[in-house]
Amino acid sequence: MKDIMPVNGQFAMMALPYENLGTAVSRDTLSFHHGKHLKAYVDNLNKALPGSGLEGISLQEVVRKAQGGIFNNAGQVLNHTLYFEQLSPSPRPMGSHLESLLGRDFGSVEAFKNEFVQKGATLFGSGWVWLSMDSDGKLVVTQQRNAENPVTDGLRPLLTFDVWEHAYYLDYQNRRADYLAALWQVVDWQVVESRL
């Protein structure tokens, strides 16, 4: 993942690289999730940065160093950037390199997906489920609460599913596991592999 840098002290609102995600996520959910929720996190972060001592550094560094409101908003900007960028209505398949790593560390791609969905479905409250690479090169699945991101634990984030209710409630109501299962249809694995 490239460092995300501010311009003139402000982080830009990412543009969505697509207009829909097929049947996995509705246009209404996409519109609220990107245009309202992410927009609020970006605006709140940019308002809080001046005078904070965290100006001029990458978004990833802000997440590693900040606490309180700045951490929450910076974390959510980073998490949503990774989330939206890895999805596509015409996703590219997984390559053999990532497939072999998943097989090595989880037994199989299916076993990885099962663990990922299980950890996403059982995360209590709001948060994110992540696939990351640790400092030894091993792939791990973690649950992170609220705005947390694996970069604060020294991990390299590769893939994430948002399990805040705003990510799925309009489409799936309480059926979080169905939302998580449907998201596999729109994961662009070439984007995920580019983060290795």
Q: Which residues bind Mn ion (CB under 5 A)?
A: 162, 164, 167
Is the Cβ of residue 21 or residue 167 nearer to Mn ion in the bound state? 167
Least Cβ distance, residue 92 to Mn ion (angstroms)? 23
- Alpha helices of the chain — where are they, by DSSP H? 27-32, 39-48, 59-65, 68-85, 96-106, 109-121, 169-172, 176-183, 189-194
Cβ 195 vs Cβ 150: under 8 Å: no
Least Cβ distance, residue 123 to Mn ion (angstroms)? 13
3-state secondary structure of 37: helix
Q: Helix (H) and strand (E) counts for the chain?
A: 9, 3
Is the Cβ of residue 148 or residue 162 nearer to Mn ion in the bound state? 162
Least Cβ distance, residue 163 to Mn ion (angstroms)? 9
Least Cβ distance, residue 159 to Mn ion (angstroms)? 15
Least Cβ distance, residue 37 to Mn ion (angstroms)? 5
Cβ 13 vs Cβ 42: under 8 Å: yes
Least Cβ distance, residue 169 to Mn ion (angstroms)? 11
Cβ 61 vs Cβ 151: under 8 Å: no
Is the Cβ of residue 162 or residue 188 nearer to Mn ion in the bound state? 162
Q: Count other C-beta atoms under 10 Å from residue 125's C-beta.
A: 9
Is the Cβ of residue 138 or residue 166 nearer to Mn ion in the bound state? 166
Give the span between the Cα atoms of 107 and 128, in whole angstroms: 23
Extract the tokens encoding 104. 């090595």
Helix (H) / strand (E) containing 130: strand 127-133
> Nearest residue to Mn ion, using CB?
162
